[in-house]
């Protein structure tokens, strides 16, 4: 028994070990007011940011992410795709005469993304700032001492990029606006300093925070978002016969709030339908999508989404938020606070539910357990994929029970190793040379780590380990 305990301790020492000094984490509160110009795919934004420095360090600068500045020719994202060639993410490139060409290289000027900061202030005094593509460095007028709070105010303009990677306008299924990583977002500060990863296409990291977001947009649009809608009676889509309060420009005002999440994402389209259901002793679920023959499986998916949350709550720890939204948008599937943006047109029910389950399971390993996806993507993607297959085996049981429901994952990994392009799982998410190698290192190896650990210590003990991980690290980085 002692050997088993020692083995568990060894395997999880990197994850459950004592931190460098006393544990701390920063906290941020955003209050935003957004005015959307839907006809020009742009918006004007204002926000106040209450930032609490719980670290033992005095901060003289702060950093922000400006993700949309990556969506233009000659950006780091564009250059990476060019350098990777045919190994690049297929969503970021096209093939011309058998060669890979970055989609960003030829994006029209009026479809480039941008986040232009007009000003930022601390205590009503202008702050000096420098922007290097997707990272903004801000010099404080007054140092932010340990265990103290300050407030920044900011004004900016943004252009919604053509939908190429996750965020953007007019995705391939016709969703007008997929709004992810869309606002100037303060970077995470921890024991390793500022997490100032340039955005070149993969993962994100951020401090926990509260969001109070007001969005003004043409009254005909319906919004799905990761948060709680404060005024459903005044906007389209959430109640029958709403009293829509439009301003002189024909815009309705949407008010959203969310607490203790990593980011706030939303999507908007005039043709969205909103359906909802409730998990008993769990969250309210929203399904926001364009109804058509191509999205016919969404109706059948709703009760399976309920079962997914029930299984996850019972097995991996309780979902901590009041709601979750499955929103059609983006370019595949991507996890955000209290929601996912995902493609909605599916060939079959199991394919749609598989995507819903994977993105929903990220609420545990990317949100509540707040893995640093950029540094250790396998701890998020791998554990999420393990939970995904665990749940799917119960939602779609095979005709003949399998002794090991993860056998497909094992065989897939063995086959991949024969290609001789395997790369270490410990590499940063953006440092992989080959897209397939990144996927296997992050999704497959992380999953098989848990599969093999379960083989060694037993499934019952593994279940206890996963719950202990949740109990000790939920809502922490």
CA distance 46 to 123: 15
Q: State residue 14's pLDDT score.
A: 47
Find, among 364, 346, 363, the residue nearest to 355 by Cα. Answer: 346
Number of domains in the chain: 1
Strand partners, 252: 217, 246
Q: State residue 6's pLDDT score.
A: 40
Say if 277 falls within a structural domain. yes
CA distance 101 to 336: 29
Say if 164 falls within a structural domain. no
> What average pLDDT does the segment 362-370 reach?
97
Say if 208 falls within a structural domain. no
Say if 337 falls within a structural domain. yes
Sheet strand arrangement including 284-290: 272-278, 284-290, 323-328, 339-342, 333-336
Q: State residue 95's pLDDT score.
A: 87
Contact 238, 232 (CB under 8 A): yes
pLDDT value at 161 more than 90: yes
Name the pLDDT band for 189 (thresholds 50, 70, 90). very high
Say if 312 falls within a structural domain. yes
Contact 168, 67 (CB under 8 A): no
Say if 291 falls within a structural domain. yes
Q: State residue 129's pLDDT score.
A: 99
> What average pLDDT does the segment 434-462 reach?
95
CA distance 67 to 167: 10
Say if 306 falls within a structural domain. yes
pLDDT value at 174 more than 60: yes
CA distance 211 to 261: 8
CATH number, domain of 345, equals 1.10.390.10
Say if 278 falls within a structural domain. yes
Range of the domain at 328: 271-477
> What average pLDDT does the segment 161-169 reach?
92
Q: State residue 25's pLDDT score.
A: 97
Q: What is the pLDDT of residues 265-302, one digit of tens each?
A: 999 999 999 999 999 999 999 999 999 999 999 999 99
CA distance 247 to 40: 19
Strand partners, 169: 162, 177
Q: State residue 302's pLDDT score.
A: 99
Length in residues, the chain: 477
């Amino acid at each position: 028994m002692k050997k088993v305990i020692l083995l568990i301790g060894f395997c999880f020492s990197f994850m459950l070990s004592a931190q460098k000094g006393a544990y701390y984490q920063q906290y941020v509160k955003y209050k935003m007011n957004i005015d959307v110009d839907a006809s020009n795919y742009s918006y004007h934004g204002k926000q106040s940011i209450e930032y609490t420095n719980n670290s033992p360090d005095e901060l003289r600068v702060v950093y922000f992410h400006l993700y949309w500045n990556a969506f233009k020719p000659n950006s780091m994202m564009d250059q990476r795709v060019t350098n990777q060639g045919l190994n690049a993410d297929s969503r970021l490139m096209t093939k011309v005469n058998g060669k890979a060409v970055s989609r960003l290289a030829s994006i029209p000027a009026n479809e480039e993304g941008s986040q232009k900061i007009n000003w930022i202030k601390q205590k009503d005094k202008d702050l000096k700032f420098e922007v290097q593509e997707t990272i903004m460095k801000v010099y404080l007028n007054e140092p932010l001492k340990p265990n103290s709070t300050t407030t920044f105010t900011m004004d900016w303009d943004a252009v919604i990029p053509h939908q190429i990677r996750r965020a953007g306008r007019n995705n391939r299924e016709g969703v007008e606006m997929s709004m992810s990583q869309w606002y100037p977002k303060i970077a995470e500060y921890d024991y390793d300093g500022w997490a100032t990863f340039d955005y070149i296409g993969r993962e994100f990291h951020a401090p926990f925070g509260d969001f109070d977001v007001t969005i003004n947009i043409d009254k005909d649009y319906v919004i799905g978002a990761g948060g709680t809608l404060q005024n459903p009676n005044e906007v389209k889509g959430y109640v029958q016969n709403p009293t829509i309060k439009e301003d002189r420009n024909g815009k309705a005002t949407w008010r959203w709030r969310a607490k203790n999440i990593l980011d706030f994402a939303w999507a908007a389209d005039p043709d969205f339908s909103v359906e909802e259901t409730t998990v008993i002793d769990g969250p309210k679920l929203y399904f926001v999508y364009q109804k058509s023959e191509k999205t016919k499986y969404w109706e059948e998916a709703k009760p399976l989404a309920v079962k997914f949350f029930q299984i996850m709550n019972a097995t991996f720890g309780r979902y901590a938020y009041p709601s979750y939204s499955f929103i059609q948008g983006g370019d595949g599937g991507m996890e955000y606070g209290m929601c996912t943006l995902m493609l909605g047109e599916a060939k079959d029910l199991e394919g749609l539910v598989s995507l819903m389950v994977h993105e929903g399971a990220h609420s545990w390993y990317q949100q509540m357990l707040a893995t640093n996806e950029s540094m250790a993507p396998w701890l998020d993607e791998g554990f999420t994929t393990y939970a995904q297959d665990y749940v799917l085996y119960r939602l779609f049981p095979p005709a003949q029970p399998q002794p090991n429901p993860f056998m497909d994952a094992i065989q897939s990994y063995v086959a991949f190793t024969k290609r001789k392009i395997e790369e270490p799982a410990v590499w940063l998410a953006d440092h992989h040379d080959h897209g397939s190698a990144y996927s296997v290192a992050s999704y497959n190896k992380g999953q098989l780590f848990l599969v093999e650990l379960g083989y060694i210590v037993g499934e019952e003990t593994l279940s206890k380990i996963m719950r202990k991980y949740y109990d000790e690290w939920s809502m922490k980085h």
